[in-house]
Amino acid sequence: MKFSQSFEITKWDQAAYDEAGTIQLGRAGVGKTFTGGELEGTSTAELLMAGTADGPAAYTALERFTGTLGGRKGSFVMLHGATADQNGAPGTIVAAEGDLAGLTGTVLYEHTEDGAPRITVDYELP
């Protein structure tokens, strides 16, 4: 099953951990809330990022969603990331538990034309 929905970023705690040279490495703890669609719940993510004087260069993240997907309660973990030259951030569902055990699929994080964050999930449940 495939769907797209918007979400809200509710937390962004970012800090640098390596500022040597012109490339900065950082991490961010990110919180999100998903409502009004197939996903109902919250997620927490840890992002590792690289940036230059020209702006962001790349990130990778592990994120856990907790709530309901298609009415089934549980949690799942996604691995996603992107480089600055990509239009979206693709990822994969890597683990799931509760009523979502056995969940497989992909995710794609993007921003709409007006800048709103959006996720597209293409998944299968046993």
Tokens 């996903």 sit on residue: 39
Domains in the chain (CATH in brackets) are 2-124 (2.40.350.10)
The residues, any chain, with a CB within 8 Å of residue 74's CB and separated by 6 or more, are 66, 68, 96, 97, 98, 99, 100, 101, 103
The two beta strands, 39-52 and 8-18, are unpaired
First to last CA, the chain: 12
CA dihedral for 94, 97, 102, 103, sign (positive or negative): negative
pLDDT digits (tens, 9 = 90+) for 27-83: 999 999 999 999 999 999 999 999 998 999 999 999 999 999 999 999 999 999 999
Per DSSP, the residues of 54-96 read: TEEEEEEEEEEEEEEETTEEEEEEEEEEEETT-SSEEEEEEEE
Confidence at residue 118, expressed as pLDDT on a 0 to 100 scale: 96
How many beta carbons lie within 10 A of that of residue 13, not counting itself?
9
Which pLDDT tens digit goes with each residue over 45-56?
999 999 998 999
